[in-house]
Amino acid sequence: MPLLERLRFLAISSANLDEFYEIRVAGLQQQAAFGIPTGEPDGLSPAAILERISETAHRLVEQQYEVLNGELLPALRAAGVRLLDSDGWTASQGRWLKRYFKSQVLPVLTPVGLDPAHPFPRILNKSLTFIVSVTGRDDFGRDSGVAVVQVPRSLPRLIQLPPGEGFGPHDFVLLSSIVHAHIGEAFGGMQVTSCAAFRLTRNSDLWVDEEEADDLMRALKGELSSRNYGDAVRLEVESECTTEMGEFLLSTFELEPSVLFRVPGPVNLHRVLAIHELCQRPDLKYPPFAGRVQPRLEHERDLFLVLRRGDVLLHHPFDAFTPVVEFLRQAALDPAVLAIKQTLYRTGPDSPIVETLIEAARAGKEVTVVVELRARFDEAANISLATRLQQAGANVVYGIVGYKAHAKMLLVVRREERGLRRYVHLGTGNYHVRTAKAYTDFSLLTADRGIGNDVHKLFLQLTGLGRVGKLRSLYQAPFTLHKELLLLIDAEAASARAGRPARIVAKMNSLAEPQVIQALYRASQAGVSIDLIVRGLCCLRPGVPHVSDNIRVRSIVGRMLEHSRIFYFHNGGEPRVFCSSADWMQRNFFRRVEACFPIEEERVKERVISEGLELYLHDNTQAWSLSSDGRYRRLRPGREKPRSAQQSLLEALCGLPDTQHDADVGQDASLLLQVRAGEGVALEPIRRKEELDRELPDAQAQRGQGPGAAAAVEPGGEPQENAELERQRRA
């Protein structure tokens, strides 16, 4: 992996741990304080869980800094990218940095000396702060000896140094290093005896009594300001911080020693992400790519005509997100369009989606937007865009009290010769142009009347009152999705018990709902072959004898964040395939409004199966297999050819050359279409071989390449022999 991308992933892991403490650990600490049990199946108390979290988190943080200091920084330095520490500054570098401190930093610092007239200041959540010990007396004769210096967020945390003055073309210095080296300038006439940076993490969950709040937006606005000053949950200090000062800080913030982290480096590891953003070194980053625009969308500009001819499937980011934006833009400009309705969960700053909705409202369209104000850490942005939409004349609602509106839906109502017709976009990801370039998701654009009618009913449900009746095509949380998934799983189990082929393949972000897990266990015991691609949290244990022998779980961690949700059921040889906004978690099934939609056109269904499932089941370079002991093992190619699902898609759909594996895209295109079945020994395609052969490039067909060399990896991590040898053995 390119060096700057490794640095980026390291920064992301730190940010993820921050959020974990801000939300999950904060909630557990509250439960422990009030003696509230967790209610989880393992029966552990909140205090016991917190103890385990502390042990694991400390190991993780230790590994993070070992990777930073022992691997990445030395390798980057060898490549000409340097993060300069004060110990290694030359005289000319030191002079430049001192001038920078005096001109750019010192004027905005406000040291607070602690005494009865100057109590310990309120510390902003995750802000850079220094605790300083000094000796001597000031102009008023004070000698309290301890001061606190908060560094304003207006100052950049990483400074790229100008070439010259002894600096190289890619030299950086952390602001914390500059402050640390020159903190004495803030205490004239006194001597600094110790100085240590620290960072305090606070409870950042917002709580609003939705039943009592007359206006959810106004209530959330009132809570946002308190997010930065919630209860303290974690304390990070530099390793140079003295024991006495660490204990003083713990006492001040009323924290236990278990949440104190001493780190040999910057207290906010996420700040090194700026090196990736500022450093112009393409050779140390992933090669850029542009998502493709499908030929049928390039040749025909009228998207409504395209959709009347058939569905359009987009696999982001390999397929560009621009057709979704263009679909909305055409709807906003088309005089025949009467109404536009859309859900917005996360959109990002300066969103073209929001701008187009505003234009449509100003043009007199009936625009209705369901804005989820409670999208965590996006509350302020969503309040802002909701206000702008209201000012433009759009109807803005905030979903249902007690339920987050998490479904990704866009409905366009158009007057045509035969009457009104509905056009729909449904997705597994948000209407966020930036994340659409970094997250894998599926989008479906369709003029299907059944789906259009169902989406219309869902919007009636979200904006009005009353019962909308049974949906024909979609499954919906919190009402039908959970029940229907259980029925689909049980149907596969019944097929297996009757001796018929049975197969389940599902891809999601998280799997935690107990009833679904129990149903999968029952299906496994009945003989159903089950493959689960779960990027994150998975509470199911595969490979447990007599419980989950037929279940395999893998996680794909690669360049793009795996975000799509896909559910495949063999269904007696007539596969049923769904995409969804929902993971298999309690919150998605019971506390959110979610949409699960069928993929029915055969050509579209084949793409979802091959690109979204089969490729990922044959990944042996970026896949981690979950074992029955709860541990993940990195899969290795062994004797087989290295395969990366994401890289194969980048090659096949975006034309990006493979610089890592020298892979043959055509060969992978044929091999990815085989999936394990039965007891996990035989390799059998989900679809018929003659269907797959039609998809092979002409050049490959001329070379006589066949689909017989796919690697299959069992939970233990050892590759099987290829499919052709397996077929010969079985024969």
The residues assigned a catalytic role are 406
CB atoms within 10 A of CB 237: 22
Instruction: Provide the phi-psi class of 571: left if phi over 0, else alpha when psi is between -120 and 50, else beta.
Output: left
Cα 584–588–593 angle (5° rounding)?
140
Helix (H) or strand (E) holding 452: helix 449-463
Distance CA 202, CA 19 (A): 10
Q: Two tokens at 435? A: 């994340």
299 burial class (0-12, 13-18, 19+ CB within 10 angstroms)?
A: exposed
Contact assessment for residue 306 and residue 296, using Cβ atoms and an 8 Å cutoff = yes
Distance CA 576, CA 570 (A): 7
Residues written for the chain: 731
In angstroms, the Cα distances linking 376 to 24, 345, 582 are 13, 10, 16
Q: What sections of 225-372 are H helices per DSSP?
A: 243-253, 273-278, 295-299, 303-309, 322-333, 352-362
Q: What sections of 504-635 are H helices per DSSP?
A: 514-526, 586-590, 602-609, 615-617
β partners of residue 264: none
Q: What sections of 672-722 are H helices per DSSP?
A: 689-693, 698-703
Helix (H) or strand (E) holding 115: none
> DSSP 3-state assignment of 148?
strand
Q: What is the DSSP string of 162-219?
A: PSBTTB-TTEEEEHHHHHHHHGGGGSTTSEEEEEEEEEEEE-------TTT-S-HHHH
Distance CA 398, CA 345 (A): 10
Contact assessment for residue 304 and residue 330, using Cβ atoms and an 8 Å cutoff = yes
> Can you state the angle between helices 46-67 and 3-19, rounded to 10 degrees?
160
- Looking at residue 614, the DSSP 8-state letter turns out to be I
In angstroms, the Cα distances linking 32 to 47, 620, 639 are 6, 42, 51
Contact assessment for residue 616 and residue 533, using Cβ atoms and an 8 Å cutoff = yes
Q: Is the N-terminal amide bond of 288 cis, ω within 30° of 0?
A: no
Please name the residues in contact with 615: beta carbons below 8 A apart, sequence gap of 6 or more. Answer: 645, 648, 649, 668, 672
Phi, psi of 651 (to 5 degrees): -70, -50
